[in-house]
Amino acid sequence: MLQGSLVAIVTPMFEDGSLDIPALHQLIDFHINAGTDGIVIVGTTGESPTVDWDEHCLLIKETVSRVAKRVPVIAGTGANCTREAIELTAKAKVLGADACLLVTPYYNKPTQEGLYQHFSEVAAAVDIPQILYNVPGRTCCDMSNDTALRLASNTNIIGIKDATGAIERGTDLLLRAPKDFAIYSGDDATALSLMLLGGHGVISVTANAAPKLMHEMCVAAIKGDAIAARTINAKLFGLHQKLFIEANPTPLKWVLEEMGLIKSGIRLPLVALSTQHHDTLRLAMKSAELI
């Protein structure tokens, strides 16, 4: 079972919004050298809503090639159209992804039965490990724990990214899920708590900027070393909070530009970080020993 710090990696862009593939390669090496346990490409943090089909596939292809089996690659392949999710998941398998991350269908607001059938159809159509992704704050679609656990019986569905930030929900999943079903946090601020309760890791925004500390925190938490994990998490907590001072990945891209890792490109309708937040983020960076 894949455990630890799985970075929901940004999609580097030039100032005109075009993809910066050389910067992506450099970021991948940066993460692997820092101990990141897996790369999640074209997720929410990777601006999946504004990359087109060809770019989406190119980002998966380039990531798989650059990673070269050094760590697992998880490709975001969710959609609010079941046929599109199947097609993109199948393409990710062909491109060499190790697993796929499938967000709950957004905007069309399916019922729990609709969610069950949607994910079951994708799992039946494509033989690749699949991780469910529940982020109701983004999608206006909340998959219940009962539905997630009903889907856990499918051999191709190997886990869930729970981005609700609700520890009681995560605890319920951990208590009722099959032993081989992974529970990942999708909320950096509560990830430590979930891992100390038995969670298997975090699909992280913060790891983009502080991969070494996130990896070390996850290692300590999964081992049950609460004191070490809390000490590291205290350094990171400013980032956990302030990286969402505006819509993700706007603050994160500003931080990574400050670190000299990427250029400032971001796609409309997202725009550059408001100047009023710059000092707040610098304080969070200082706490995490990034500057």
Give the SS3 label for residue 183.
strand
Do the Cβ atoms of 163 and 106 come closer than 8 Å? no
Q: How far is CA 176 from CA 53, 125, 169, 203, in A?
A: 37, 27, 11, 21
CA 176 to chain centre: 23
Nearest C-alpha neighbor of 41 from the set 75, 67, 71, 64: 75
| Amino acid at position 53, single letter | W
DSSP 184-212: EES-HHHHHHHHHTT--EEEESGGGT-HH
SS3 of residue 245 by DSSP: coil
| CA–CA gap between residue 37 and residue 78 (Å, rounded) | 22
The residues assigned a catalytic role are 133, 161
Residue matched to tokens 């999609």: 11
Written as six digits, the tokens of 257 are 């530009």
Interior CA angle at 108 toward 10 and 99, to 5°? 40
Verify cis geometry, omega within 30 degrees of 0, for the bond prior to 12. Answer: no
Please report, as a single letter, which amino acid is at residue 165.
Answer: G
Q: Give the distance, in angstroms, between the CA of residue 76 and the centroid of all CA atoms in the same chain.
A: 9
